[in-house]
């Protein structure tokens, strides 16, 4: 258990700290008072006060965190502006989050997800700069008999150029693009001798294992790949190229994740792949066994996921606040306290339902349910 728990705690501490620090940075920049900076929920394990009066603390339940602003009734910044004006003196009003201009509140809230995306970019940038990025062209060495690939027209020695509109720059990307596809057919563009050929392949879904040995439902087309001319092309990138490919990777993961979630909602993707903290803990422990590089790579993807999920327009998440600010911009005034609280109740139900569903999937993954 320790091999799973310790890497999970390290991962969550770093990713959540970066997220909350994004909120903290913009809040301090715009003069908002901060009473608490918490990693985790529940009872405090350890904490200290800084010179500005902020309580920095780590709590027992490591499943998130929060930055609490001066004058907030709770960590979600619910407040009625008229009541605040009556309650606080002018010098204290200047430190109140809810009285800041709309654009500052938007930046403070968006700062958390932004920090997660930036963390992922920094990690990818470091890997591509100091370790390198693979640019080995993907060549089909074998097309399995009667497989979707054979039926669809793929042939041995085809060089895969594109999958579903995504340029295949590396043999490592083929599996990723096939796995993340959600439509009934996958569009391939391949180089065959001196021609480029476009094909549609209808994949099979089979129960298999990922690279860590976890059971998953895999989309397969029935091909075996090899390196072009049997040469591995692993290149350390310069700063400009590393930034470009890092941003591109964050963009691809974000867009693909949104497409996959949309497909799950409409019943076109496998919902059993949706996991929660238990699965993250399990995978983080497995990945940690492969070394630091694999672990920080996973951290980048978890950071993207955290930033993305927090932008969903669900009350209690950052995206829910941004949704409220959109209403405020449209209406010319903030939503009432009662209306906000109604939305938060709905958000709580949605989050608890999602938590129940992902936990059920996690327990199934551990073999406790069938």
Mean pLDDT of 54-82: 75
Mean pLDDT of 34-41: 93
Tokens 């998440």 identify what position?
317
How much is the pLDDT for 341? 80
Mean pLDDT of 259-282: 69
For residues 140 and 274, which has the higher predicted lDDT (pLDDT)? 140
Tell me the per-residue pLDDT of 140-178, one tens digit each, with 9 for 90 and over: 999 999 999 999 999 999 999 999 999 999 988 898 898
Tell me the per-residue pLDDT of 69-102, one tens digit each, with 9 for 90 and over: 987 754 444 445 666 667 777 777 888 888 889 9
Residues of 65-78 as b/e, b for ≥16 C-beta within 10 angstroms? bbbbbbbbeebbbb
Domains of the chain as residue ranges with CATH:
2-130+303-365 (no CATH), 133-235 (2.30.42.10)
How much is the pLDDT for 71? 75
**244, two tokens:** 């470009």
pLDDT band, very low/low/confident/very high, at 349 (cuts 50, 70, 90): confident
Annotated catalytic residue 20: yes
Share of the chain above pLDDT 70, in %: 83
**138, two tokens:** 């993907």
pLDDT band, very low/low/confident/very high, at 367 (cuts 50, 70, 90): low
Mean pLDDT of 241-268: 87
Distance CA 42, CA 57 (A): 11
Tell me the per-residue pLDDT of 172-222, one tens digit each, with 9 for 90 and over: 889 889 888 888 899 999 999 889 999 999 998 887 666 555 667 778 899
Which of 36-45, 58-67, 113-122, 135-144 is predicted most confidently?
113-122
Record the pTM: 0.85
SS3 content of the chain, % helix, strand, coil (to 5): 50, 20, 25
Tell me the per-residue pLDDT of 317-339, one tens digit each, with 9 for 90 and over: 899 989 999 998 998 887 777 78
How much is the pLDDT for 370? 52
Question: Which residues fall within 8 angstroms of residue 314, CB to CB, at 6 or more apart?
Answer: 320, 347, 350, 351
Residue 369, pLDDT above cutoff 50: no
Q: Of the listed 20, 86, 91, 162, which one is catalytic?
A: 20
How much is the pLDDT for 80? 57
How much is the pLDDT for 74? 47
Q: How far is the CA of 27 from the CAs of 39, 75, 183, 334, 356, in angstroms?
A: 17, 14, 42, 19, 33
Residue 20, pLDDT above cutoff 80: yes
Tokens 């109604």 identify what position?
342
How much is the pLDDT for 285? 66
How much is the pLDDT for 286? 66
Tell me which residue of 309, 252, 245, 250 sits closest to 276, measured CA to CA.
Answer: 309
Distance CA 370, CA 363 (A): 9
């Amino acid at each position: 258990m320790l091999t799973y728990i310790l890497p999970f705690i390290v991962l969550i501490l770093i990713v959540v700290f970066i997220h909350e620090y994004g909120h903290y940075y913009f809040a301090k920049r715009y003069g908002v008072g901060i009473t608490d900076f918490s990693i985790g929920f529940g009872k405090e394990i350890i904490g200290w006060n800084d010179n500005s009066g902020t309580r920095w603390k780590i709590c027992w339940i490591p499943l998130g965190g929060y930055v609490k602003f001066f004058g907030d009734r709770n960590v979600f910044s619910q407040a009625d502006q008229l009541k605040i004006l009556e309650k606080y003196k002018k010098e204290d009003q200047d430190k109140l989050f809810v009285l800041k201009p709309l654009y500052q509140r938007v930046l403070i809230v968006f700062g958390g997800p932004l920090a997660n995306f930036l963390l992922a970019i920094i990690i990818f940038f470091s890997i591509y700069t100091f370790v390198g990025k693979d640019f080995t062209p993907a060549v089909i060495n074998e097309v399995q008999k009667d497989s979707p690939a054979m039926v669809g027209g793929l042939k041995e020695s085809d060089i895969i150029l594109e999958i579903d509109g995504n340029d295949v720059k590396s043999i490592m990307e083929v599996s990723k693009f096939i796995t993340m596809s959600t439509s009934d057919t996958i569009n391939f563009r391949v180089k065959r001798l001196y021609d480029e050929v476009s094909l549609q392949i209808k994949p099979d879904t089979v129960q298999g294992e990922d690279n860590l040995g976890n059971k998953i439902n895999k989309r397969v087309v029935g091909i075996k790949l090899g390196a072009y001319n049997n040469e591995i092309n692993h290149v350390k990138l310069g700063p400009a190229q590393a930034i470009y490919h890092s941003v591109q990777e964050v963009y691809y993961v974000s867009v693909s994740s949104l497409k996959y979630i949309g497909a799950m909602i409409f019943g076109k993707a496998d919902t059993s792949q949706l996991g929660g903290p238990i699965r993250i803990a399990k995978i983080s422990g497995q990945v940690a066994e492969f070394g630091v590089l694999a672990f920080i790579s996973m951290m980048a993807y978890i950071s993207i996921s955290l930033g993305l999920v927090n932008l969903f327009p669900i009350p209690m998440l950052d995206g829910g606040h941004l949704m409220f600010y959109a209403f405020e911009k449209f209406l010319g005034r903030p939503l009432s306290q009662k209306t906000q609280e109604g939305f938060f109740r709905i958000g709580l139900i949605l989050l608890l339902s999602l938590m129940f569903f992902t936990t059920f999937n996690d327990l199934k993954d551990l073999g406790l349910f069938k």
